[in-house]
Structure 1
């Protein structure tokens, strides 16, 4: 009998020939700003653990306590028997932290974005999405039966023209990242809120990379720009600054009740384990009690961006802890990443399909756990590579 998957090896060979075949590696430990990788300890400039909480003993203790109280697995989806006390407590704490009426937790940030978009927009509706939105948003628009219009990155005039053309649709949904994961730049949130109000559109934002980092209380860029009350739907994740796993949505009580009834990834996924909810309750408390973590992180990021621009590297419009060193070609990005690895640093090269052709880059991701010596080491290495 012919192998129905016989086409896969040929396609893998094609990826190999294009130098785009990816493989999975195993890290030993990850403690703060360092990582044990292939029997070497490297300075880790690749993690999204922005507040250095992933290995915080307080999160570990909270997770262990939750396991002792509720066990490990949740056993079922939230609407069956899977939602435990820790998850319920976390959703209450999230709503308080985010200053919203209600919150809902998901197995992943990807599931939250994809499911919420599908639950909000259907046939007869239109979704207007920034071209550099995360893959979870893109897949959510594809899952929806709504018409999709993609606008050029942060191009408000183009978006307004689209909104004018879309007046006949039943509902309009504008969706954007607040902090873009590859470019480190920021969405024009006040202007987007203006357009949403002017054209009677829902505005949905993904604060994944901004939660815990921006805003007086660490709620993200909606807080920083004072548009929280003007944004209909806010999505976030536990897996970055909060050092955990899973996603969440915050907003009005009617929104959350609608998602409970219509969001398929929530309805048909096993609830996250109590251990994660316990750890995330601890993380929210740390974000509230230790604002110096985010102020320190942003100060370090500002310093590093200034130094790298002085050297002559192109960083685009980055204004955050995500710093792209834009080099253009795939070969150069991967070569520089390998050279930095040999110099004791993990700085990933980013290439298609994660970025468009010709926009390959090194993605530097900072943590408040990085010391000034760590930053100096990175600057020295990139200076050497720039001049060499």
Structure 2
């Protein structure tokens, strides 16, 4: 029987209309997944990953152990080099997931007496990793660089005395708002104060940059970033993540990042799929990203035509959020859209702050203009 304290927490979630349940697969029109380029359902990527195995006489289902034991193979080395070249960085280290990568980085890199300054809207994996660190951590107001610089100045006074380092962490595209910080100005601030800048690029990979290599590459800030976290479960349509940085950082993570050291490695087929997805990014990304960008612009123009601007958070990414206060209300509208054939997920409190509940529209290269117009016109029929 579940302990009483735990059952009470479950009951409170149900009372607040915040109870989470696993959904089922459906054939609804997709405005909810992170599969921005449609790669997760690409038969070509699936077939080419299988072909790679056949051509290299690799018939292995599992990794058999962590990479420091029996789980490493030449394929990891090849793909990490491919990732480094693609993102114009010294090295890359593959992790089993984005959550794992953030835990692995923040739990071991910032040291005692160091300071972590993080955007208040940073992902749960970043916040959990920070909790595991021995460093002191302080949040700054979302995308407020003036507030950030005040915190830097306040905490940098002891740098020379304690030999502390200051780490700044933010996301290039925020998953719950779809907005972005001023990364160019942020990099100038970090350089000015000799702080180390870490950027989570989970929702920028495949969407921004000449070849889909992210906002940092698009803005040519690669040499000003201490570390980047990229994930493959979104635009690349597969699984896993990587931390990008210097060779010394990679060596350090291999030696001290517990989620890397003590985890069974990704199975070879997952690594091969990452490789093939990157190959496909270079071949087809211009077409796929062109369609995605057209859909983003059209979605924004339809918001304006239908006079819905006051409900939506400003975004140039594939994520667009319509604020609908109250868990019951936003769930009700999501269900109504589902009944009309559209999969638009409600984001509830406590995932977001009370009063900031929302419908989260994720746009894709495969959505049609007709679908975009229809779902937004349906949205106008509800009273907020």
Verify the 8 A CA contact 1:125 1:146 in the aligned structure 2.
yes
1:63-74 alignment, distance < 5 Å: 63-65=49-51, 69-74=58-63
* Partner residue, 1:318: 315
Instruction: Provide TM-score, normalisation by structure 2.
Output: 0.93
RMSD: 1.5
Q: CA deviation at 1:100?
A: 1.1
- 1:142 Cα deviation after fit: 0.8
| Structure 1 residues 287-366: aligned runs within 5 Å | 287-290=281-284, 291-313=286-308, 314-366=311-363
Work out the CA distance in 1 between the residues paired with 2:51 and 2:331: 43
Please state how far the C-alpha of 1:338 moved relative to its aligned partner: 0.9
SS across alignment from 1:166? helix
- Alignment partners' CA distance in 2, 1:95 and 1:176: 21
CA change 1:231–1:8 in 2 (3 A) is same
Counterpart for residue 87 of structure 1: 76
Whether contact under 8 Å (1:126, 1:173) holds in the other structure is yes
Alignment of 1:230-269 (within 5 A): 230-269=224-263
CA-to-partner distance for each residue in 1:289-313, whole Å, 9 max, x for gaps? Answer: 1212112202211210221133232
TM-score between both structures, scaled by the size of structure 1: 0.93
Q: Deviations over 1:108-164 (max 9, x none)?
A: 001101211222102110000000111111111111110001000001111001000
In the aligned structure 1, how far is the partner of 2:214 from the partner of 2:59? Answer: 31
Partner Cα separation in structure 2 for residue 368 and residue 43 of structure 1: 13
- In the other structure, the counterpart of 1:195 is 189
**1:149, 1:223 → 2: CA distance?**
28
Q: Give per-residue Cα distances to partners, 1:277-296, cap 9 Å, x unaligned.
A: 11111111111112121122
Quick check: 2:95–2:241 contact (8 Å CA) kept in 1?
yes
Aligned residue in 2 for 1:180: 174
Whether 2:129 is the aligned partner of 1:129: answer: no
Which stretches of structure 1, 4 residues or more, deviate above 3 A after TM superposition?
65-68
**Does 296-305 or 207-216 show the bigger shift?**
296-305
The residue correspondences of 1:1-80 to structure 2 (distance < 5 A) are 5-27=3-25, 36=26, 41-65=27-51, 69-80=58-69
Q: State how far apart, in whole Å, the 1-side matches of 2:325 and 2:301 are.
A: 21
Q: Which residue of the partner structure matches residue 268 of structure 2?
A: 274
Structure 1 pair 332–310 and aligned structure 2 pair: CA distance change class (3 A): farther
Question: Partner residue of 1:115?
Answer: 104
Quote how far apart the aligned CAs of 1:345 are: 0.5
1:171-201 deviations in whole A, cap 9, x for unaligned? 0000011100010101211111011101111
Alpha-carbon distance in structure 1 between the residues aligned to 2:66 and 2:228:
23
| CA gap 1:377/1:101 in 2 versus in 1, 3 angstroms | same
CA distance in 2, matches of 1:344, 1:21: 23
User: Structure 1 unaligned runs (5+)?
Assistant: 28-35
2-structure distance, mates of 1:273, 1:4? 35
How far apart are 1:70 and its partner, in Å? 4.2
User: 1 CA distance for matches of 2:223 and 2:9?
Assistant: 48
Q: Cα–Cα, structure 1 residues 9 and 311, in superposed 2: closer, same or farther, change >3 Å?
A: same
Deviates most, 59-68 or 196-205: 59-68
How far is the alpha carbon of 1:380 from its aligned partner?
2.5
In structure 1, what is the Cα distance between the partners aligned to 2:99 and 2:359?
23
1:369, distance to aligned residue in structure 2 (A) = 1.1
Deviation at 1:373, TM superposition (A): 2.2
Task: Report deviation, 1:250.
Answer: 1.1
**For the residues of structure 2 that align with 1:85 and 1:136, how far apart are their CA atoms?**
29
**Are the equivalent residues in 1 in contact too, given 2:298–2:369 (CA < 8 A)?**
no
Aligned residue runs from structure 1 range 100-111, under 5 A: 100-111=89-100
Tell me, in whole angstroms, the C-alpha distance in 2 between the residues paired with 1:232 and 1:213. 22
- Judged with a 3 Å threshold, the aligned counterparts in structure 2 of structure 1 residues 364 and 47 are, in CA distance, closer, same or farther, namely same
Summarize the Cα distance change of 1:64–1:4 in structure 2 as closer, same or farther, 3 Å threshold: same
